[in-house]
Amino acid sequence: MKKQIIALVGVIIACSCVVARADHPTVGFSAGLAGPAITIPATTLPKGSGAVTLRVEYVKFRTFSDAELARFAAQGTEVHSVDYLLSPSVGAGYGLTDDLTVGLRLPYLLRTDIRSGHNEGGEVVIDTHGNSDGVGDLTVLGQYRFVNNQLRRLECALLVGIKTPTGATGVKDLKGELFETEHQPGSGSWDPLLGMAASKRLGAISFDANVLYTFATGGAQRTNLGDRLHYNLATSYRLGNEKSHLHSDGTAEHQHLEWDLILEVNGEWQEKQTISNVVDDNSGGSLVYFSPGARLCGDNGWAATLSVGIPVIGERNGVQHETDIRMVFGLSKGF
């Protein structure tokens, strides 16, 4: 059972904290038994156990055409368009005690085909900024399980963390000008995180939920990207599958594989960002994903996770492009 718990550390930093502007990667931690892919379960790693994770996130956006950007600019609204976000990341988690797990995640971010429109003395100009890429901000999260009722199979945990300003904030566009902070790999800010998680097991079925609030502070270019609230609900069902491999000497080796089938609802809210204390009305809002997924776990400590997020509710402020789809793949190894 201990090996299974370690092996099922799925997608580290996966609390469905996609910023409501939608062109930022997810943020959070996951260290579960029969747990979800995005939602943070309350289950912690056993003392002295750990895991490392490679994770890749892809978010495709419904881009604005040059004609649309020109029309917005002519109306006095300067907006940006991004084609897609690709964010590979590495993470690690370690059980300091049976009830206290500490994890971290470091992402790399690539945003492609960033374009914008603006009005220069009555003439509309479309700017092609190109791609923005670089190392992102390191996030550290502690998870303390304060309820572990084995009879009722109920767990609750407190989440406390910090996003540090380790990411690049000086990336320039094709014209040699700095990208705005919202399109930089790093924010330049120290952002505390606080939340709760709960898990309930009913045989092969698991129910998990969590909330996580990010307190944004001032960062690069006098920009505050805005506070964020992330809320998630998930159910997962565990399937077992034992396979046998026959060796040349006639002996058989049995391999036990387990599947977690996952359904999640991932929601987020972000307040409007401010630049030099001026509120950006084309920022912030709410977004909700419906996210089916699956996780495959083996006896050797490896686990692979895939989640597909489909936007079902979007209430954004002002003019912002929509999200078409989000895909998250994770590969983890317990030790």
| pLDDT, tens digit, 9 for 90 and up, residues 21-41 | 445 545 444 433 346 889 999
* Closest to 18 in 3D by CA, of 331, 274, 310: 310
Paired tokens of 51: 């895991």
Based on the number of CB atoms within 10 Å of its own CB, is 237 exposed (0-12), middle (13-18) or buried (19 or more)? middle
Please name the amino acid found at residue 182: E
Tell me the CATH number at 298: 2.40.160.40
The domain of 34 spans: 2-334
CA 6 – CA 106 distance, rounded (Å): 20
Q: What is the pLDDT of residue 253?
A: 52
Q: What is the pLDDT of residue 6?
A: 42
Lowest average pLDDT, out of 121-135, 150-164, 186-200, 253-267, goes to 253-267
Please name the amino acid found at residue 258: E
Q: What is the pLDDT of residue 20?
A: 36
Instruction: Inform me whether the pLDDT recorded for 42 exceeds 50.
Output: yes
One-character DSSP codes across 33-99: SS--SSSPPS--PPTT-EEEEEEEEEEEEEPPPHHHHHHHHHTT---EE--EEEEEEEEEEEEEETT
Q: 222 in helix, strand or coil?
A: helix
Are 19 and 184 in contact by the 8 Å Cβ rule? The answer is: no
Paired tokens of 174: 């094709």
How many domains, the chain?
1
Lowest average pLDDT, out of 120-134, 148-162, 254-268, goes to 254-268
* Closest to 82 in 3D by CA, of 108, 67, 61, 51: 61
Percentage of residues of the chain with pLDDT beyond 90: 73
Work out the pLDDT band at 242, boundaries 50, 70, 90: low
Lowest average pLDDT, out of 126-135, 202-211, 292-301, goes to 292-301
One-character DSSP codes across 124-188: EEEEEEEEEEEE---EEEEEEEEEEETTTTEEEEEEEEEE-S-S----B-TTSPBPPGGGSS---
